Amino acid sequence: MRANKSTKKWKKENPKKLKEQRKRFRTGYKKRNPKKIKAESEANRKIKIPKGQLCEDCNKNLAVEKHHEDYNKPLKVKFLCKGCHNKRTNILK
């Protein structure tokens, strides 16, 4: 989603408010999603996306993101392109 002109202007004019807003969101997000945060953190430390790896869904684009199907299995991830990852996460919501 792209920010419109008024949003961009507000962000530019209110950097302190924006920083506080983002901090509040991150703090709340971490409290609401502890399993997800832990799984993502562990996967980011231990798993690198292989160079030249194609998306496991479309097999067309390069994989740039990791997707967990089960946060209880943090090292079991799928390598996906941005578009396929967005499709998967929107389907799950």
Instruction: Label each residue of the chain as H, E or C.
Output: CCCCHHHHHHHHHCHHHHHHHHHHHHHHHHHHCHHHHHHHHHHHHHCCCCCCCECCCCCCCECCEEEECCCCCCCCEEEECHHHHHHHHHHHC
Domain ranges of the chain: 5-92
pLDDT category, 2, cuts 50, 70, 90? low
Q: What are 26-79's pLDDT values in tens digits?
A: 788 888 889 999 999 999 999 999 999 999 999 999 999 999 999 999 999 999
Q: Which residue has the higher pLDDT, 3 or 89?
A: 89
